[in-house]
Amino acid sequence: MKYYIKTYGCQFNYSDSERVSAVLESAGLKRAKNHLCADLILFNTCSIRQTAEDRVYGTMVNMAKLKKIRPHLRIGITGCMVKRSSTKKSLKPDPLVKNMDDVDFVFRIEDSARLPQLLKETGLEVPHETPDEFDNGTLKNYFKINPKYSSQFQAFVPIATGCDKFCAYCIVPFTRGREKSRPMEEIWEECEKLVKNGCKEITLLGQNVDSYGLSFLDRNEKRFASLNVGEKIYFTRLLEELDKLKTKGLRRVRWTSPHPKDMTDDVIEAVATLETQMPYIHLPVQAGSNVMLRKMNRPYTREHYIKLIEKIRHRIPDCAISTDIVIGFCGETEKMFEETCELFEQARWDMAYISQYSMRRFTAAYKTMKDDVPRKEKERRWHRLNKILTRISHEKHKEFIGKTVEVLVEKCVKGICEGRSEHFKRTQFKGGKNLIGQIVPVKITDALAWNLIGELI
């Protein structure tokens, strides 16, 4: 019996799929090479933008056609398109997917441990019995599931899930729920085990990694902690703890994403001083206009953001910084958009992930604002920003020519190795498959807009 998981969206979903794989394999299912030979197809979905949902529907309709020739095929849906309340008791699909007759079951990602049970309820006999905690669904904390990692030398480790920030455009607080941090010991155990098995790079995941630990505190303490008076914040303490794994072979600890509001000095200090920290920070700004930031419920100004990246670059002079931008949000005028363009020139991000605003159900913007920037105008603004980004990214890459970077080799196709440098720059060079999983020095000889080219030293 074989399964196939189609994952959409962010690294969090990919990490969740590794846990789902582990549950299925503990029930005796094997991973299928592709969907054509699978007995079970699961969709781990994303709903951050309408285009993400449309992509899921498109593939789902196509794959469901397979049922005509393989009637025993079972199809399940999980992830962000599954409403939080939809599967508590029943197997009834979410209203979103109720017109999809070919969908057999829907489950919340937090209920992954119940998967073998759900499969039995849909008439699929799983090959062997699973441990009790899987069968009766008592494994409430799905983070305790030991994932089936897709790489031996790189891993994603969730440190918190959910979000309490409620940005006006964002559906995440409604799909992933309130922010909840994993206990530090649990994260440590997972990372230690990974490193013992040869993992060299760990990426910590959370919607707001720098507010890690706040969910442990009561309301009063939270106010105190977010002011960061005196003591180091929990996130920094976690980075310091994990840095100790360098003696066991851990080389890199990355994390994504922080919120500018919670980016305290001690986080910057940790990046500057800890050996496993890399000189790269992804710091979403979302907009360059203060009016937009306020409407988006982002509690900082462009001036605060600029000061923050100046501080980072002062303490870590070569630090690469990237960002997320939403353009065409409700009421964004040409002038406000120009402010975002100006911020690009000022911030000179190494990379920016630019999205066109897409209205999402449940959000404050959906309830109280008007999606009034026309689609064509959003596209025009997107292209304009992308042009600025391409130019700056190319200029930044050229600064690496002649320098030597360390690359963690992820793949090698037809004699060309590829991996990320310390600064998260995609780097290519001639080499063999034997280098996969190693960190090697590469001298940069050429720079393209989106990657570096070099020679193995």
According to CB under 6 A, which residues from 268 to 287 bind ligand 5AD? 284, 286
Q: Which is nearer to ligand 5AD, 1 or 364 (CB)?
A: 364
Shortest distance (Å) from residue 363 CB to ligand 5AD = 7
Q: What is the token pair recorded at 320? A: 């690469």
According to CB under 6 A, which residues from 130 to 189 bind ligand SF4? 163, 165-167, 170, 172-173
Give 97's contacts (C-beta < 8 A, 6+ positions apart). 77, 81, 103, 106
Shortest distance (Å) from residue 60 CB to ligand 5AD = 21
CA triplet 444, 446, 449: central angle to 5 degrees?
115
How far apart, in whole angstroms, are the C-alpha atoms of residue 170 and residue 365?
A: 9
Among 20, 199, 293, 326, binds ligand 5AD (CB under 6 A): 326
CA atoms lying within 13 Å on the CB side of residue 311:
15
How far apart, in whole angstroms, are the C-alpha atoms of residue 441 and residue 300?
A: 39
Q: Answer with the entry of ligand SF4, ligand 5AD, none that 165 interacts with (C-beta below 5 to 8 A by kind).
A: ligand SF4
Considering the rule CB under 6 A, would residue 378 count as an interface residue with ligand 5AD? Answer: no
How far apart, in whole angstroms, are the C-alpha atoms of residue 335 and residue 327?
A: 12
Say which DSSP state 166 is in: -
Q: Answer with the entry of ligand 5AD, ligand SF4, none that 355 interacts with (C-beta below 5 to 8 A by kind).
A: ligand 5AD
Taking residues 305 to 324 in sequence order and writing x for each that binds ligand 5AD by CB under 6 A, - otherwise, the string is: -------------------x
* CB 160, CB 209: distance < 8 Å: yes
How far apart, in whole angstroms, are the C-alpha atoms of residue 310 and residue 122?
A: 56
Q: Which is nearer to ligand SF4, 166 or 362 (CB)?
A: 166
- Long-range contact set of residues 385-391: C-beta below 8 Å, sequence gap at least 24: 385/325, 385/327, 385/340, 385/341, 385/344, 385/352, 385/354, 386/354, 388/341, 388/344, 388/345, 389/344, 389/349, 389/351, 389/352, 389/354, 390/449
Q: Answer with the entry of ligand 5AD, ligand SF4, none that 259 interacts with (C-beta below 5 to 8 A by kind).
A: ligand SF4
- The residues pairing with 409 across neighbouring beta strands, listed in sequence order, are 419
Q: Answer with the entry of ligand 5AD, ligand SF4, none that 208 interacts with (C-beta below 5 to 8 A by kind).
A: ligand SF4
According to CB under 6 A, which residues from 161 to 200 bind ligand 5AD? 169-170
Among 1, 4, 20, which residue's Cα sits nearest to residue 148?
A: 20
Among 360, 396, 397, 420, binds ligand 5AD (CB under 6 A): 360
Shortest distance (Å) from residue 208 CB to ligand SF4 = 6
According to CB under 6 A, which residues from 207 to 226 bind ligand SF4? 207-208
Q: Which is nearer to ligand 5AD, 324 or 418 (CB)?
A: 324
Shortest distance (Å) from residue 205 CB to ligand SF4 = 12
* CB 70, CB 92: distance < 8 Å: no
Q: Which is nearer to ligand 5AD, 385 or 412 (CB)?
A: 385
Using CB under 6 A, which of the segments 30-38, 102-110, 352-360, 443-451 binds ligand 5AD?
352-360
Burial of 118 (0-12, 13-18, 19+ CB in 10 A): buried
How far apart, in whole angstroms, are the C-alpha atoms of residue 452 and residue 457?
A: 15
Among 8, 337, 357, 429, binds ligand 5AD (CB under 6 A): 357
Using CB under 6 A, which of the segments 75-83, 96-104, 357-365, 366-374 binds ligand 5AD?
357-365
According to CB under 6 A, which residues from 244 to 303 bind ligand SF4? 259
Cis peptide before 150 (omega within 30 of 0): no
Q: Answer with the entry of ligand SF4, ligand 5AD, none that 207 interacts with (C-beta below 5 to 8 A by kind).
A: ligand SF4
**Integer-rounded Cα radius of gyration of the chain:** 23
- Which residue ranges make up the site for ligand SF4 (CB under 6 A)? 163, 165-167, 170, 172-173, 207-208, 259
- Which residue ranges make up the site for ligand 5AD (CB under 6 A)? 48-49, 169-170, 284, 286, 324, 326, 355, 357-358, 360
